[in-house]
């Protein structure tokens, strides 16, 4: 590339709320939002791809990695995206303006720029004192395992860098809308991103009889971690109950139950046909029943003439414990026990993870490196399960293999030894099992038929014949073998 393209940033950018699109996916979503329009919100696009920036209708543009990538993109390498964001982070912060109080960072996880640069930009905005909300997508399954793994790692970095994080699962959209045209599928993803940003931003910017202001939003979302959100509208005689039910079934919720949230932000918006007191009561009562009595609900009403005769409901839920979020539940590993000897030579047992430690209880460096790698792999597997394996019952679980004898062996009771129980090794009473090994003969433990009645002489499998030479050089078979008898020696 012969010439590096520099984009001049307009000076007037004084909106309270900014939406920053990072990378190809984030910029596409912001382009979509810009064309749709969100009240009193301004937009910024940041990308390493100069051509994509040039084609964006958004006026505020920041090229990332001017010297590193020379406008050619990050090549699907998150580290290149990360370094590009670091190179131009001052330009990004300048684009936000001085009056900005809240910033949305939108990105598609899985590529190079979005995955690598979005956490850097989010961290800088948060450290500058801005309320920082991440809204990211994870790929459709057909986009490939490498892209999915990069996306899941990017989400882990985003969680550390924002006040609140909304994760939109593209695969969930596929389940809802079926086999769409490819362009329509990505348009649906952009629309859901727009719904999320618009729903939160217009809670603040749209005014109504009962306002929800920026301080209310900050109370709910500041340092809240993973957030879930639902948004829907409905018309007709039962529009209030239809709207709240649809909001709680929104694809934004990604199969999560709203119960367990400590803070709820509720916005009720109506158009020409204003919402009634009874309808507000229906919505708030239904939500309180769903979320539980201990949740704090901050709610407000607004007017949007675009809704006409519909009622719109937007819900933001935060303050979950990790165990309350299906997406954050860890995958439990199988308990493994090992036998060993103590200083006196006695047999002892314990969890495998306690073996191989030094006198201070620390693992050797080699073991620690293996443990760290295994922890990373478990975390990656857990993240994949929580987004792409929706049915917890269908997830692959470790299978405990019994100790049972190989096929074909007889004379043993398969239920005799507790270690051979199908229930798994972690259910064995090891002290009792070791005591049996030391004190009970094997034939008794295995219940072999040592004292069974002996068969009659005619039934015994003992030879009664002798084969010898006769006088004529032939062979002779006689029925009395002098070397075999029935007496016990």
322 is in an annotated binding site: no
208 is in an annotated binding site: no
Asked if residues 304 and 268 have their Cβ atoms less than 8 Å apart, the reply is no
Cα 218 to Cα 375: distance, rounded to the nearest angstrom:
34
Cα 50 to Cα 487: distance, rounded to the nearest angstrom:
101
147 is in an annotated binding site: yes
Q: Which residue has the tokens 């909106």?
A: 15
25 is in an annotated binding site: yes
410 is in an annotated binding site: no
Cα 368 to Cα 179: distance, rounded to the nearest angstrom:
46
Cα 107 to Cα 117: distance, rounded to the nearest angstrom:
9
Q: What's the distance, CA 114 to chain centroid?
A: 19
Give the CA count within 13 Å in the CB-facing half-sphere of 475: 4
Closest CA to 17 of 98, 100, 81: 100
Closest CA to 23 of 144, 149, 121, 160: 121
Burial class (CB within 10 angstroms; exposed 0-12, middle 13-18, buried 19+) of 175: exposed
Letter string b/e over residues 394-411, b meaning 16 or more CB atoms within 10 A of that residue's CB: eeeeeeeeeeeeeeeeee
- CB-based contacts of 180, cutoff 8 Å, min separation 6: 174, 188
Cα 103 to Cα 85: distance, rounded to the nearest angstrom:
16
Cα 48 to Cα 55: distance, rounded to the nearest angstrom:
13
Closest CA to 331 of 267, 380, 280: 380
Distance set, CA 56 to CA 62, 241, 375 (Å):
11, 40, 41
- CB-based contacts of 440, cutoff 8 Å, min separation 6: none
230 is in an annotated binding site: no
- CB-based contacts of 156, cutoff 8 Å, min separation 6: 379, 383
Cα 187 to Cα 275: distance, rounded to the nearest angstrom:
31
Cα 288 to Cα 299: distance, rounded to the nearest angstrom:
12
112 is in an annotated binding site: yes
Backbone φ and ψ for 179, nearest 5 degrees, come out as -85, 85
Asked if residues 3 and 63 have their Cβ atoms less than 8 Å apart, the reply is no
Sheet of 311-318, strands arranged across: 228-234, 311-318, 263-270, 296-303
114 is in an annotated binding site: yes
154 is in an annotated binding site: no
Structure tokens at 445: 């433990």
Asked if residues 29 and 106 have their Cβ atoms less than 8 Å apart, the reply is yes
219 is in an annotated binding site: no
26 is in an annotated binding site: yes
Output the known binding site: 24-28, 112-114, 143, 147, 190
Output the known binding site for GTP: 24-28, 112-114, 143, 147, 190
């Amino acid at each position: 590339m012969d010439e590096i393209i520099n984009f001049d940033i307009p000076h007037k950018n004084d909106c309270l709320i900014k939406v920053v699109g990072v990378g190809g996916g984030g910029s596409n979503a912001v382009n979509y939002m810009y064309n749709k329009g969100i009240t009193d919100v301004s937009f910024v696009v940041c990308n390493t791809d100069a051509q994509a920036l040039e084609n964006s209708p958004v006026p505020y543009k920041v090229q990332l990695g001017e010297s590193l990538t020379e406008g050619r993109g990050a090549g699907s390498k998150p580290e290149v995206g990360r370094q590009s964001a670091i190179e131009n982070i001052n330009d990004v912060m300048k684009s936000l303006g001085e009056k900005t109080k809240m910033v949305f960072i939108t990105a598609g996880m899985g590529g190079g720029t979005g995955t690598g640069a979005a956490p850097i930009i989010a961290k800088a905005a948060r450290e500058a004192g801005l309320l920082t909300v991440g809204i990211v997508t994870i790929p459709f399954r057909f986009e490939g395992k490498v892209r999915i793994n990069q996306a899941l790692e990017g989400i882990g970095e985003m969680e550390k860098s924002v006040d609140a994080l909304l994760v939109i699962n593209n695969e969930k959209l596929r389940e809802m809308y079926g086999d769409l045209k490819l362009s329509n599928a990505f348009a649906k993803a952009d629309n859901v991103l727009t719904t999320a940003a618009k729903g939160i931003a217009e809670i603040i910017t749209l005014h109504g009889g009962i306002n929800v202001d920026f301080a209310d939003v900050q109370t709910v979302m500041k340092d809240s971690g993973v957030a879930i959100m639902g948004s829907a509208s409905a018309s007709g005689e039962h529009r209030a109950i239809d709207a709240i039910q649809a909001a709680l079934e929104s694809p934004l919720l990604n199969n999560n139950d709203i119960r367990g949230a400590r803070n709820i932000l509720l916005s009720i918006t109506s158009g020409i046909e204003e919402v009634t007191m009874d309808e507000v009561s229906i919505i708030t009562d239904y939500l309180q029943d769903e979320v539980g009595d201990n949740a704090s609900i901050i709610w407000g009403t607004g007017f949007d003439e675009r809704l006409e005769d519909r009622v719109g409901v937007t819900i933001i839920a935060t303050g979950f414990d990790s165990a309350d979020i299906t997406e954050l539940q860890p995958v439990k590993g199988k308990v493994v026990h090992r036998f060993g000897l103590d200083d006196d030579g006695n047999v002892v047992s314990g969890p495998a993870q306690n073996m191989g430690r030094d006198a201070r209880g620390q693992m050797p460096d080699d073991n620690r490196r293996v443990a760290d790698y295994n922890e990373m792999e478990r975390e990656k597997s857990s993240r994949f399960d929580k987004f792409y394996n929706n049915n917890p019952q269908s997830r692959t679980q470790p299978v405990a293999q019994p100790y049972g004898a190989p096929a074909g062996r007889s004379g043993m009771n398969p239920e005799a030894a507790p270690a051979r129980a199908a229930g798994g090794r972690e259910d064995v009473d090891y002290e009792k099992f070791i005591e049996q090994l030391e004190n009970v003969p094997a034939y008794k433990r295995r219940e072999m038929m040592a004292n069974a009645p002996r068969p009659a002489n005619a039934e015994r499998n003992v030879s009664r014949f002798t084969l010898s030479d006769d006088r004529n050089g032939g062979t002779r078979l006689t029925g009395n073998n002098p070397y075999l008898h029935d007496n016990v020696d």
